[in-house]
Chains A and B, each alone.
Chain A
């Protein structure tokens, strides 16, 4: 079964999605339960994935390889290592609350809605587990379609503008990545990512490939200044779309940097690391300031996401500055560990925050902060969750939000005092924008009649927020199980990133 575990994880949700589509809107009750069951089965499949994962090797595990397009030497090749496995689990984990959150809420074409999320789940897991670059690209692009539909069909009033912006940005970025992949295929004679990582490349080649990757991944992360599609997409997307967008899709950018940029073009990364670090610090500070003044809850959390993802790219690219400052790679792994933990943690926390906004939106049909105030008076249980996730978003120790930022700040000090000092500004900025939001929405006297009539969360909402709260706390109190999975792959990546590939 282990040989097909990843295939199951990819195709089972997709197949279920197709069945739900075929059942159609008339059999929606069956469709809903089938969707939920499929997402739970996918989550259950993660149990053997986690349990039987060998934490002593950096090699791909659960590998499967079959001919796919022989003409181009493209293989249907799957496998996970310590970098991708946690992301696969995160994807399976976050799909469940999304489906539950839509349970009574989505009334327009619910079967298509469920099918879209299930198909997307499979495609996203495909992105993380493909070890063949063409297969990776296939999933990478295919995944855009369901998200495109989710925003376009179930989105808000400006959804057309948002979908086009989203689609163009991500698609244009990816085209250059495809060109880079094809170029390397021509040189290596294979689409295997491992072959790309072993392929010697001159500095000029590396620079071009680096630029192509940067465009593709920076848009996804997103990094300043190609981030403006995200707030628009979030604002227009339905709750579930926002959750998946923030929790999983942004991670693909970070994953791309770790899987492609650093190991494939290390010399270009060494040369241009300052660019990535500068953009990361701009994300933390510039975007942090912008988040403070947002008046729309979803926009605020979207900007907060960009700022938090700045830690991912910062942590990933610290290796060169550390080597320059200390003549040793010691500490570089900590930066990458921090980047990875930050991705997982941000997936949980931003997902939870978007679900919280969804809970409020379902009741009040507005996302404007000014329309709220004193929600705690009528929704005390909800307020407890919202405050917890907000505190986690500020990086409070004891929650998962702390772990990644802490590791990245520790590592960045080794590279430069200023990197650490600028990154650490997030302590102040993050607290400012998040807790000011909480003050205006959750605390205070009941602001208006609509707030006065609010009902506290129901059992369904309690279940998903409670499960996420548990995960956020568990990861904060004891992150070691996650770190243990990542460590060999991260160490391997440090070696790859610190090496040179320029042919002599």
Chain B
């Protein structure tokens, strides 16, 4: 493979981002979006070309350096690329979704004063994400990892005058840093055994490291510790419980980045990373059990929160958390291919759902509360139709893309015998009911039923505000609907087309390593007889029946008899309170952790620095206060130089004493 071509892939969006960022206001809006779209289009085209080369033309894996970042103590740390079937799939997905989002942004941000800045950021993000995905070493992985987090920080706080946005972006960065704290320790742990940061060395050493014990916590397996630490990084980036708290708040950012960063790409970096590190994780059952349990917990419990939220974007955000949990659970069951496959289908249908939600938000004049929507399907037919496609894919309706990936995850977790797999199985299975419940709730409350936006306007005029005509929603312009259609197509068919190859056809080859005794997907592959048969079988499977139950419940409570939902909320008020408080994670972080941190800081500062060190030791005790005070008085009355003079004299005396004794 031509290395220059590979370098061009991340470089094109980087150059576009730099020009847009530094000169965007000078070259104008049209030039900025043309330039950045061209940059991402180049990256996308080249990625697809490399994909074609690798898959159809049989070109082998590329693993090579670009330049030497530094050499320290004989360790060469290089920037370099590992391009295999795993990374090229990620590159293609990332650049394709990014391209759709770039185009969509033209419409969505058209009246925003930060237009050019926004394009610069999302192109910069694309660069950082590509560096992460293409890395062949841990340093570059960490670079991409933190760089995408940095752009996410800038984008969540894009509307920087909103207090909620700048709270959310600080929270996102710090929570991610908690994850990165683990991540860098994991990297350092591996480094301490391999004295190298390249993937290949670490992978080759995995069986050896698995034999080592680290003398901490009474002796732990070194590889387990390293893998758990790496996964803590993934928990931050991919928003797994309890480090998930930043993702719902990240919805403060503009919708295009919710789709690109907080649904399709950045948040899946953790999933990608664990799959990339499969040669390490495979040697630690304990670490994989940890992954499995965390993932399953996230899948189930975060889905539940989607059922009680009324903000259309936040519902999708909770859905994202839950789906990331599914992917993580798949990783924990050693079904890495299923995780990546779900990552891919999810990228399409979740980006679609977010962009559709964005289209609704534009149509509703920046209203995000679903209680003020209803019946929009009539006014926004393309948005409604594409959103339904995304929703059906999300609930794993047979034949839709999400079905093939999610069904495989549930089955794989069911087949796993790892510690925690029974719990995980029930979580992901019941999760299908929950997924279906919140998805159809969203679709019904938004596109069907009573046109509640008419009340909202009526309420406003009743309340004595200036007379408000009803804002009748309208379909969004073509730059918005076109990306919706572009994403709806893969949401519909990509699973059907690729399941045989990606999931059951050994597409990943050596890029993902699974030890034979862990290979649950091999069992599934034995029963695989084509996508058609799989989908037909799917109609009789438990996940579909659970999803059907969720549909029925949503229909009854949110379309047929909405009063029932209110009655239930009153009857189960205690449960509703817990859910409204999001299981009290935010409360705990803000009231306990953050307070504790500030308390420790104040305590150390007032009691330590000012009290003991300055107070008692420096100018505290009676004698030294007097002495110090005297010095200060002397200086103030002009004796400074005589004081300095005495010091010099003292020194000279000391010097003389030494010389005499020598």
Partners in one complex: yes
The A interface is mostly helix, strand or loop, or mixed, namely: helix
Q: Which of B157, B167, B191, B635 contacts A164 (CB 8 A)?
A: B635
Chain B positions within 8 Å of A484 at CB level: 71
- Complex CA gap A331/B74 in Å reads 9
A331 touches B602 (CB 8 A): no
Is A413's CB under 8 angstroms from B602's CB? no
Partner of B72, one of A163, A164, A407: A407
> What residue of chain B has the Cβ atom nearest to residue A436's Cβ?
B170
Are A406 and B139 in contact, with the CB atoms below 8 A?
Answer: yes
Q: Which of A168, A186, A446 is close to B658, meaning CB atoms less than 8 Å apart?
A: A186
Verify A164–B632 contact, CB threshold 8 A.
yes
Known interface pairs A374-B161, A424-B184; A291-B601 also in contact (CB < 8 Å)? yes
B601 touches A228 (CB 8 A): no
Most buried by A among B70, B181, B215: B70
Stretch at the interface among A8-16, A19-27, A98-106, A414-422: A414-422
Q: Could you tell me if A421 and B632 are in contact, using CB atoms closer than 8 angstroms?
A: no
B584: interface (CB < 8 Å): no
Cβ proximity bits B599-623 to A, threshold 8 Å, 1 near / 0 not? 0111011001100011001100000
Provide the residues of chain B in CB contact with A387, threshold 8 Å.
Answer: 154
Please measure, in the bound complex, the distance between the C-alpha atom of A377 and the C-alpha atom of B662, giving whole angstroms: 68
Q: Are B143 and A397 in contact (CB under 8 A)?
A: yes
- A175 to B651, Cβ gap below 8 A? yes
- Which of A175, A228, A293, A374 is B613 in contact with, Cβ under 8 Å? A228
Contact with B along A423-444 (1 / 0, CB 8 A): 0110110011001100100111
Residues of A within 8 A of B636 (CB): 160
Contacts of B647 in A (CB 8 A): 171
Stretch of A243-251, A270-278, A475-483 with 4 or more beta carbons under 8 angstroms from chain B:
A475-483
Q: Does B146 have its Cβ within 8 Å of any Cβ on chain A?
A: yes
Q: Are A292 and B598 in contact (CB under 8 A)?
A: yes
Chain A residue nearest in CB terms to B609: A228
Question: Does A178 sit at the interface, judged by CB under 8 A?
Answer: yes
With A178-B654, A286-B604 known as contacts, the answer to whether A443 contacts B192 (CB < 8 A) is: no
In the bound complex, how far is the Cα of B613 from the Cα of A165, in angstroms? 13
Establish whether residues A410 and B185, one from each chain, have CB atoms under 8 Å apart when the complex forms: no
| A479 x B658 contact (CB < 8 A) | no
Interchain CB contact under 8 A, B188 and A397:
no
A284 within 8 Å of B by Cβ? Answer: no
User: Of B73, B180, B216, B614, which is within 8 A of A228 by CB?
Assistant: B614
Number of A positions contacting B (CB below 8 A): 74
List chain B residues, Cβ under 8 A from A490: 73
A330 close to B632 (CB less than 8 A):
no
A253 contacts B by Cβ under 8 Å: no
**Closest Cβ–Cβ distance, residue A359 to chain B (whole Å):** 19
A396: Cβ under 8 A from any B Cβ: yes
B54 at the interface (CB under 8 A from A): no
Q: Please state if B181 and A424 are interface contacts (CB–CB under 8 Å).
A: yes
Asked if residues B166 and A439 are in contact (CB atoms below 8 Å), the reply is yes
Query: 8 Å CB contacts to B: which residues of A377-407?
Result: 377, 387, 391, 394, 396-398, 402-403, 406-407
Q: A179-B654, A397-B143 are in contact. Are A225 and B613 (CB under 8 A)?
A: yes
**Shortest beta-carbon distance from B223 to chain A in Å:** 14
Residues of chain A within 8 A (CB-CB) of B601 are 289-293
Q: Which of A289, A377, A391 contacts B604 (CB 8 A)?
A: A289
B160 pairs with A289, CB closer than 8 A: no
- Contacts A330-B195, A414-B192, A435-B174: A403 and B70 contacting too (C-beta < 8 A)? yes
B650 (CB) vs chain A CBs: closest residue: A175
A424 to B229, CA, bound (A): 12
| A480 engages B70 (CB within 8 Å) | yes
CB-CB contacts of B103-118 with A at 8 A, as 1s and 0s?
0000000000000000
Indicate if A6 sits at the interface (CB-CB under 8 A): no
Q: In the complex, A490→B146 CA distance in Å?
A: 29
List of B residues within 8 angstroms of A81 by Cβ:
none
A396 touches B150 (CB 8 A): yes
Q: Is B655 an interface residue (CB 8 A)?
A: yes
Q: Which residue of B lies closest to A141 (CB)?
A: B651
B635's partner among A160, A439, A479 (CB-CB below 8 A) is A160
Contacts known (A164-B635, A286-B608, A417-B216); A435 close to B69, Cβ less than 8 A = no
Give per-residue flags for A327-343: 1 if the beta carbon is below 8 A from chain B beta carbons, else 0. 00011111001100000
Judged by a CB distance under 8 angstroms, whether B173 is at the interface is yes
* A398 x B143 contact (CB < 8 A): yes
Residues in B neighbouring A171, C-beta threshold 8 A: 647
Query: Is the Cβ of B71 less than 8 Å from the Cβ of A480?
Result: yes
| B614–chain A nearest beta-carbon distance, Å | 5
Considering only residues 29-71 of chain A, those with a C-beta below 8 Å from chain B are none
B73 & A332 in contact (Cβ 8 Å cutoff): yes
- Chain B residues with Cβ below 8 Å from A418 are 216
Cα separation A228 to B609 with both chains bound (whole Å): 7
Residues of A close to B173: CB separation below 8 A: 431, 435
Contact call A330/B73, Cβ cutoff below 8 A: yes
Q: CB < 8 Å: which of A182, A334, A417, A491 contacts B214? A: A417
Q: Is the CB of A165 within 8 A of B618?
A: yes
1/0 contact trace for B392-411 toward A, CB 8 Å? 00000000000000000000
Interface centre among A330, A398, A412, A442 (most CB of B within 10 A): A398
Tell whether, in the assembled complex, residue B600 and residue A337 are in contact, meaning their CB atoms are under 8 Å apart: no
> Do A410 and B191 touch (CB < 8 A)?
yes
* Contacts A161-B632, A420-B185, A427-B184 given; does A289 touch B147 at CB 8 Å: no
Decide yes or no whether B177 CB sits under 8 A from chain A. Answer: yes
Docked Cα-Cα span, A164 to B647, in Å, equals 13
Q: Is A121 at the interface (CB under 8 A from chain B)?
A: no
From B163, B602, B604, name the one whose CB has the most chain A CB atoms within 10 angstroms: B604
Q: How far is the CB of B567 from chain A (nearest CB, A)?
A: 41
Bound complex: CA A31 to CA B178 (Å): 51
B142 located at the interface, meaning its Cβ lies under 8 Å from any Cβ of chain A in the complex:
yes
| Shortest CB distance A400–B (Å) | 12
A300 to chain B, nearest CB (A): 11
Q: Does B330 contact A (CB under 8 A)?
A: no
Cβ-defined partner of B605 (8 Å) among A293, A413, A432: A293
A334 engages B150 (CB within 8 Å): no
Nearest A residue to B165, CB-CB: A443
- Contact between chains at A478 and B67 (CB < 8 Å): yes
**B residues near A186, Cβ cutoff 8 Å:** 658, 662
| Residues in B whose Cβ lies below 8 Å from that of A435 | 153, 170, 173-174
B575 at the interface (CB under 8 A from A): no
**B658 & A182 in contact (Cβ 8 Å cutoff):** yes
Say whether A427 contacts B72, CB under 8 Å. Answer: no
B466 CB, min distance to chain A CBs, angstroms: 24
Whether B150 pairs with A391 at a CB distance below 8 angstroms is yes
Q: Does B536 contact A (CB under 8 A)?
A: no
Chain A residues within 8 Å of B613, by CB:
225, 228
B71 contacts which chain A residues (CB < 8 A)? 480, 483-484, 487
Q: Please determine whether A331 and B195 come into contact, CB atoms closer than 8 angstroms.
A: yes
Residue among A163, A332, A374, A427 having the largest count of chain B Cβ atoms under 10 Å: A427
Beyond the given pairs A330-B73, A409-B184, A439-B170, 6 more chain A to chain B contacts, judged by CB atoms under 8 angstroms and listed by A's residue number, are A165-B618, A290-B601, A406-B142, A413-B188, A417-B185, A444-B163
- In the A-B complex, the 6 residue pairs with the smallest Cβ-Cβ separation, listed nearest first, are A333-B73, A413-B188, A293-B601, A397-B143, A289-B601, A334-B73
Give B contacts to A, CB under 8 Å.
67-75, 139, 142-143, 146-147, 150, 153-154, 157, 160-161, 163, 166-167, 170, 173-174, 177-178, 180-181, 184-185, 187-189, 191-192, 195, 214-216, 225, 597-598, 600-602, 604-605, 608-609, 613-614, 617-618, 628, 631-632, 635-636, 647, 651, 654-655, 658, 662
14 A-B pairs with CB atoms under 8 Å apart are: A286-B608, A331-B192, A391-B150, A394-B177, A396-B150, A402-B143, A403-B70, A409-B184, A410-B192, A411-B73, A418-B216, A427-B180, A432-B597, A483-B72
